[in-house]
Amino acid sequence: MNFFKRVWNLYYEGFKNMGPVGKKLWLIILIKLFIMFAILRLFFFPDILEENFSSDKERSDHIINEISKP
Amino acid sequence: MEEALVDWSRAQFALTAMYHWLFVPLTLGLSFIMAIMETIYVKTGNIKWKKTTQFWMTLFGINFAIGVATGIILEFEFGTNWSNYSWFVGDIFGAPLAIEGIMAFFLESAFLAVMFFGWQKVTKKFHLTATWLVALGANLSALWILVANGWMQNPVGMHFNPETARNEMGNFWDVLLNPTAVDKFLHTVSSGYVIGALFVVGVSSWYILKNRHIRFAKRSMVVGAVFGVISSLFIVLTGDSSGHHVAQTQPMKLAAMEGLYEGQEGAGLVAIGVLNPEKEVDNDKDPFYFKVKMPKLLSLLAERDADAFVPGMEDLVYGNTQQGILSTPKKMEKGDRALTALKKYNEAEEAGKDSLASAHLETFRANYPFMGYGYFDQPQETVPPVGLTFYSFHVMVILGFLFVLLFLLVIWFNLKDTILQKRYLLVAATWAIPLGYLASMLGWVVSEVGRQPWTIQDLLPVGVSTSHISASHVQLTFWLFAAIFTILLIAEISIMVRQIKIGPK
Can you tell me the distance from the alpha carbon of B273 to that of B479, in angstroms, rounded to the nearest whole number? 35
Angle between helices B124-153 and B110-117 (to 10 degrees): 140
Residues B44 and B177 placed together within one structural domain of the fold: yes
Look at residue B282 and tell me if it is in a domain. Answer: yes
Boundary of a domain, candidates B335, B353, B383:
B383
Q: Are residues B371 and B296 in the same domain?
A: yes
Q: Which of B455, B445, B485, B486 is nearest to B72 (CA)?
A: B485
Q: Is B342 in CB contact (< 8 Å) with chain A?
A: yes
In angstroms, rounded to a whole number, what is the distance separating the alpha carbons of residues B327 and B330?
Answer: 5
The phi, psi pair for B273, rounded to 5°, reads -175, 160
CA dihedral B254, B256, B261, B262 (to 10 degrees): 0
First CA to last CA distance, chain B = 58
Residues B68 and B190 in one domain: yes
C-alpha pair distances (Å), B52 with each of A42, B23, B125, B251, B399: 43, 22, 17, 47, 28
Q: Stretch A23-45: mean pLDDT, rounded?
A: 88
Scored b (16 or more CB within 10 A) or e, B465-482 reads bbbebebeebbebbeebe
Q: CB–CB of B316/B328 below 8 Å?
A: yes
B81 and B189 both lie in a single domain: yes
> pLDDT tens, position by position, for chain B (505 residues)?
677 889 999 999 999 999 999 999 999 999 999 999 999 999 999 999 999 999 999 999 999 988 887 888 888 888 899 999 999 988 787 777 777 777 766 777 788 889 999 898 899 999 999 999 999 988 888 888 899 999 999 999 999 999 899 999 889 899 989 999 999 999 999 999 999 999 999 999 999 999 999 999 999 999 999 999 999 999 999 999 999 999 999 999 999 999 999 999 999 999 999 999 999 998 989 999 999 999 999 999 999 999 999 999 999 999 999 999 999 999 999 999 999 999 999 899 889 898 999 999 999 999 999 999 999 999 999 999 999 999 999 999 999 999 999 999 999 999 999 999 999 999 999 999 999 999 999 999 999 999 999 999 999 999 999 988 888 989 998 999 899 889 988 988 899 999 999 988 7
- One domain, residues B172 and B46: yes
**Domain edge (last residue) among B337, B358, B383:** B383
Per the CB < 8 Å rule, is B87 touching A68? no
Spatial contact of A36 and B73, defined as CB atoms under 8 Å apart: yes
Query: What is the ipTM metric for this complex?
Result: 0.88
- Which DSSP string corresponds to B299-362? HHHHHS-TT-EE--HHHHHH-BGGGTBPPHHHHHHHHHHHHHHHHHHHHHHHTT-HHHHHHHHH
Provide the residue range defining the domain that includes B35. Answer: 3-195+440-502
Task: Tell whether B463 and B365 lie within a shared domain.
Answer: no
Do B367 and B444 belong together in one domain?
no
Q: Say how many domains are in chain A.
A: 1
Residues B12 and B159 in one domain: yes
Whole-number pLDDT of residue B414: 96
Query: Measured between CB atoms, which of B70, B76, B342 is closest to A45?
Result: B76
> Measured between beta carbons, which residues in chain A are less than 8 angstroms from residue B70?
32
In chain B, how many domains are there?
Answer: 2
C-alpha distance from A60 to closest chain B C-alpha (Å): 5
Q: Do B495 and A44 touch (CB under 8 A)?
A: no
Rounded CA separation B189/B26 (Å): 10
In a domain, A62, yes or no: yes
Q: Is residue B287 part of a domain?
A: yes
A9 is a domain residue: no
Nearest CA in chain A to B477: A44
Decide if A12 is inside a domain. Answer: no
**In terms of domains, do B453 and B376 share one?**
no
Alpha carbon distances (Å) from B10 to B32, B35, B124, B154, B255: 33, 38, 48, 20, 23
User: Under an 8 A CB cutoff, do A68 and B488 touch?
Assistant: no
User: Are B310 and B457 within one domain?
Assistant: no
Same domain flag for B454 and B377: no
pLDDT of residue B253: 97
CB-based contact (8 Å) between A26 and chain B?
Answer: yes
Same domain, B274 and B160: no
What CA–CA distance (Å, rounded) separates B274 from B390? 9
